[in-house]
């Protein structure tokens, strides 16, 4: 069972590396996918145009959790301009899975949360 779920998704879902909250965050955003009830919150610490730290919490399916974990890892240590420009394709590559159209929102919710957090914090690339 489970060819839809790559070993990356399983591993990240069971043992996320970036789960938690950044203390005293510079950017915060939380959103839900009304379709399935996935909820993702991301917190960021930002210094001198860099993402110092990125963490996520939430209640979601495996694909969404893995996407959030990979995204938080991907942007940590990157320039804000790079973080803002992460694309869905980047995440799909990292997830190494055959994501069906009905589950694409699970992949993109964390990306939406990231971009909203940075936009709200007034960050401009």
Partner 1 sequence: MMLGKETRGDFPILRRVINGKPLVYLDSAASSQKPRQVIEAISAYYEQSHANVHRSIHTLGEEATARLESARDSVREFIGASHREEIVFTRGTTDAINLVAQAVGRTFKPGDEVIVTEMEHHSNLIPWQMLCRDRGLTLKAVPLVGEGFLDTEAFERLLTLKTRLVALAHVSNVLGTINPVAQIVTRARARGVLTLVDGAQAVPHLPVNVSELGCDFYVFSGHKMLGPTGIGVLYGRREVLEPLEPAWGGGEMIKEVWIDRAQWNDLPWRFEPGTPPIAEAVGLAAAVEYLGKLGMERVAAHERELTRLTLDRLGALDGVTIYGPRNPEIKGAVVAFNVAGLHPHDAAALLDEEGIAVRAGHHCAMPLMRRLGIVGTLRASFSVYNSPDEVEFLADRVATLSSAL
Q: Let me know how long the chain is.
A: 125
Minimum CB separation of residue 51 from partner 1 in Å reads: 28
User: Considering the rule CB under 8 A, would residue 36 count as an interface residue with partner 1?
Assistant: yes
Q: Does 125 bind partner 1 (CB under 8 A)?
A: no
Residues 3-22 that bind partner 1 (CB under 8 A): 3-5, 10, 13-14
Measured between alpha carbons, how far is 90 from 93 in angstroms, rounded to an integer?
5
- Of the candidates 28, 52, 32, which has an alpha carbon nearest to the alpha carbon of residue 40? 32
86 forms part of the interface with partner 1 (CB under 8 A): no
101 binds partner 1 (CB under 8 A): no
Q: What 3-state DSSP class applies to 78?
A: coil
Q: Which is nearer to partner 1, 21 or 59 (CB)?
A: 59
Which one-letter DSSP state was computed for residue 79? B
Give least dist CB 122 to partner 1, A.
32
CA distance 121 to 69: 21
Structure tokens at 100: 């069906």
Residues of the shown chain interacting with partner 1 in the complex, contacts defined by CB under 8 A? 1-5, 10, 13-14, 35-39, 59-63, 100, 103, 106
């Amino acid at each position: 069972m489970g060819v839809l779920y790559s070993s990356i998704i399983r591993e990240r879902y069971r043992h996320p590396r970036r789960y938690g909250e950044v203390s005293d965050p510079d950017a915060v955003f939380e959103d839900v996918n009304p379709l399935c009830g996935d909820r993702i919150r991301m917190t960021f610490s930002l210094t001198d145009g860099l993402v110092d730290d990125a963490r996520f919490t939430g209640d979601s399916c495996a694909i969404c959790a893995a996407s959030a974990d990979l995204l938080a890892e991907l942007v940590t240590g990157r320039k804000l301009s790079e973080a803002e420009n992460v694309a869905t394709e980047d995440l799909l590559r990292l997830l190494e899975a055959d994501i069906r159209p009905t589950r694409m929102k699970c992949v993109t919710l964390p990306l939406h949360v990231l971009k909203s957090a940075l936009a709200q914090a007034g960050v401009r690339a």
